Copies of this chain bind each other. A is one copy, B any other.
């Protein structure tokens, strides 16, 4: 028996998120089905991040145990031949038997992409949120700096969050514009339910002049979800990378 780690990329458009649930297509279900078919064993993967319905990934991580003799680095090739076009394995390797992707210290990076122009571009409709009103990037950067550091992010998570503590550390929020796409890249030690999408919704409101950047500090201090901005739609969000420390 050995434990294999997969780095998984997916276009979440047609999935009800990562986590298995009855009567729904999920990324976890597809991976379990294809791995079980490939290996002739019943495989149940453990995922690092349970991304939401419609959210994408370049580097989500999952592990599973198998008796297979396939070398760790060959699972990516073998599995990609079975997977649909909207899920691909980017890397695979054998890891320690006790490696658990949710019980490690991690550094996760998410990117939220906003297509900011007069009219939508069809080719970008699946992986960015179309927003037509002009965004002031400098104001967004000013607002974002209050989020960096260790804070209680209770105002920036959905009421559905179930965790012992809502304190998290954000290491960096980088905001930049390339062509018509504004990217908000957030790196932290962990994220609460809907946290990155609420950060994006809040920074978008700052960028349109809806409120002053300093307001973000008040939102954090209030511990009141109703004071932060709206939850931005899922199509703009991608889980870029998970580093295990």
Q: Within 8 Å CB of A119, what residues of B?
A: 9, 76, 80, 88-90
Cα(A80)–Cα(B119), bound, Å: 9
Counted per complex, copies of this chain come to 2
Q: Within 8 Å CB of A86, what residues of B?
A: 122, 125
| A153 on interface, CB distance cutoff 8 Å | no
| A197 on interface, CB distance cutoff 8 Å | no
> From A7, which residue of chain B is reached at the shortest CB distance?
B119
Q: Which of B76, B88, B120, B125 contacts A121 (CB 8 A)?
A: B88
Count contacts on A: residues with CB < 8 A to the other chain: 23
Q: Within 8 Å CB of A10, what residues of B?
A: 122
| A108 on interface, CB distance cutoff 8 Å | no
| A185 on interface, CB distance cutoff 8 Å | no
Cα(A83)–Cα(B118), bound, Å: 16
Q: Within 8 Å CB of A126, what residues of B?
A: 123, 126
Q: List 27 A-B contacts (CB under 8 A).
A: A9-B119, A9-B122, A9-B123, A10-B122, A11-B122, A11-B123, A11-B125, A56-B122, A56-B123, A58-B121, A58-B123, A76-B119, A80-B119, A85-B120, A85-B125, A86-B122, A87-B122, A88-B119, A88-B120, A88-B121, A88-B122, A89-B119, A90-B118, A90-B119, A123-B127, A123-B238, A126-B126
Q: Which residues of A contact B (CB under 8 A)?
A: 9-11, 56, 58, 76, 80, 85-90, 118-123, 125-127, 238
